[in-house]
């Protein structure tokens, strides 16, 4: 009986010692984890916390902590990317504002200094001042539109819209300019009305931006196309031109803020770069997608994909 009692006591002592040392190791690991976590957060590093242990609870805790760290690092990286992009945007906007404002100042100084200038010459310069002022206002409006879209301050309500009707309306708005420039126009809009989940005002802005872009950069090809396709889940709106196009290695950057075709030999093709960025953000606000395919001087196609509605 005494032997059995001794064995039981020995087992209990072993259990107590095991629990003591296990708790001690766990406490040491927790202290290490706390210190390491603090260091990672203070340094904004991309490290993970690694601890060799057989403790299942501790393993699960580490797994969740590392997931949170990874999520925090992704948010921080995205913030830095946006901050860098915003700095570049402000720099480019400053440059884009400075150019027309300098021209305006030059025209005004010419009018003020040249006392012998005829009234008809003043009229010409004042018209140029007006045009440049409109250009500046347009750029400022685009900047604020993009800022609102990216900050989430601009609400876009989604509803059922008639895609055929919106496309017809927008291409008709360009009839006079396309006719005056001698463009060949190819419109392929189905007779059957197609409906998508979106916002008519936003889609008007999207189509206006894409058609304006095609008129501006597709002048060499003298062609513009607008077509609609569908499948069971989506509607596809294609805006096509046969102009200068975009080289394959630049396609992924077209929708970036302030991106322009930076070719000093082709200054006419440069712009603020905000139009297509706004277009992409508006498409995304409607839970859609936008794609670009381009073979320079052959075919450039912007495609907007929206969710179809059958009722």
Which sign, positive or negative, has the C-alpha torsion 63, 64, 65, 69?
Answer: positive
Q: What is the mean pLDDT of the chain?
A: 80
Q: How many CA atoms lie within 13 A of 287 on its CB side?
A: 10
Q: What is the pLDDT of residue 259?
A: 54
Q: Check: pTM over 0.75? Answer yes or no.
A: no
Tell me the CATH number for domain 89-151.
1.10.287.130
Q: What is the mean pLDDT of residues 206-224?
A: 90
Q: What is the pLDDT of residue 18?
A: 53
pLDDT top residue among 220 and 148: 220
Domain layout of the chain by residue ranges? 7-77, 89-151, 159-309
Tell me the CATH number for domain 159-309.
3.30.565.10
Instruction: Please write the tens of the pLDDT for every residue from 82-112.
Output: 777 777 767 767 777 777 888 888 888 888 8
| Contact indicator for 227, 240 with CB cutoff of 8 Å | yes
Q: What is the pLDDT of residue 258?
A: 53
Instruction: Please write the tens of the pLDDT for every residue from 251-308.
Output: 877 887 555 444 432 333 344 467 888 899 899 989 999 999 998 888 999 999 999 9
Q: How many whole angstroms separate alpha carbon 22 and alpha carbon 14?
A: 12
Instruction: Please write the tens of the pLDDT for every residue from 154-188.
Output: 678 889 999 999 999 999 999 988 998 999 999 99
């Amino acid at each position: 009986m005494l032997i059995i009692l001794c064995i039981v006591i020995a087992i209990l002592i072993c259990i107590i010692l095991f629990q003591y040392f296990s708790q001690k190791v766990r406490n040491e690991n927790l202290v290490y984890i706390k210190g390491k976590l603090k260091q990672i957060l203070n340094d904004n590093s991309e490290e993970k916390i690694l601890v060799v242990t057989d403790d299942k609870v501790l393993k699960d805790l580490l797994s969740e902590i590392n997931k949170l760290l990874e999520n925090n690092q992704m948010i921080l990286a995205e913030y830095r990317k946006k901050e860098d992009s915003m700095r570049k945007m402000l720099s480019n906007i400053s440059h884009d504002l400075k150019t027309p404002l300098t021209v305006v100042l030059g025209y005004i100084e010419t009018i003020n200094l040249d006392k012998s200038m005829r009234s008809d010459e003043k009229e010409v310069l004042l018209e140029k001042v007006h045009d440049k002022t409109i250009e500046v206002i347009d750029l400022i409006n685009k900047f604020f539109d993009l800022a609102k879209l990216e900050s989430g301050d601009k609400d876009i309500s989604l509803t059922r819209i008639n895609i055929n009707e919106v496309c017809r309306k927008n291409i008709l708005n360009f009839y006079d300019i396309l006719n005056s420039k001698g463009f060949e126009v190819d419109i392929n809009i189905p007779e059957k009305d197609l409906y998508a989940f979106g916002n008519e005002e936003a889609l008007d802005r999207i189509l206006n931006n894409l058609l304006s872009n095609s008129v501006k950069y597709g002048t060499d090809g003298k062609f513009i196309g607008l077509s609609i396709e569908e499948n069971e889940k989506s509607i596809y709106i294609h805006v096509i031109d046969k102009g200068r196009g975009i080289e394959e290695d630049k396609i992924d950057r077209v929708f970036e803020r302030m991106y322009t075709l930076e070719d000093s030999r082709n200054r006419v093709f440069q712009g603020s770069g905000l139009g297509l960025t706004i277009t992409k953000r508006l498409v995304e606000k409607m839970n859609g997608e936008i794609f670009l395919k381009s073979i320079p001087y052959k075919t450039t196609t912007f495609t907007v994909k929206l969710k179809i509605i059958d009722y």
